[in-house]
Amino acid sequence: MDAEVWVAIAFVVFLGVLYRFGAFSTIIGALDNRSNAIRKELEEAKALRDEAQRVFLEYKAKFSAAEKEVEAIIERAKADAARYSAEVDAEFEGFMARRRAMAEKRIAQAEASAMAEVRAAAADAAVKASESILRSTLTGAAGEALVTKNVANLRSEFN
């Protein structure tokens, strides 16, 4: 017999001895334990995956809510800015209207003052011219009395 046959017979005898002493049940038990451990790890991994998916969906919902809140804040800010701009424009227009009215009032006062000064100067010039003309044409005591009386009347009328 060849050496290969003896190796095969020795291998079968070795397997028989292992079976007789329960080595196969120990190996099978170890493999079952390993299988159970792998199954537990897979279940834990599935549970962790489910938890991760739940947390992901939760944060996705929070992110979506935060985006909506940001959009609402932006819209409120735009509305507030538009309202504030309108208020500032209205205040500016009111301010400019008041300044314009004050300027027009000052101009009217200056015109009135200038007109009064021109009238007073014209009246004084007219009185002096009239006095000069009357003094040169009217002579004597009667002329002097008439000129003095009328000059006084003219001054009171123009002023």
Q: What would the pLDDT profile of 56-79 be if each residue is shown by its tens digit?
A: 999 999 999 999 999 999 999 999
Domain ranges of the chain: 3-121
Which residues does 151 contact at the CB level (< 8 Å), separation at least 6?
127, 130, 131
Yes or no: say if 120 and 156 are a contact pair by the CB < 8 Å rule: no
> How crowded is residue 75: how many other Cβ atoms within 10 Å of its Cβ?
10
pLDDT, tens digit, 9 for 90 and up, residues 138-151 = 666 766 777 677 77
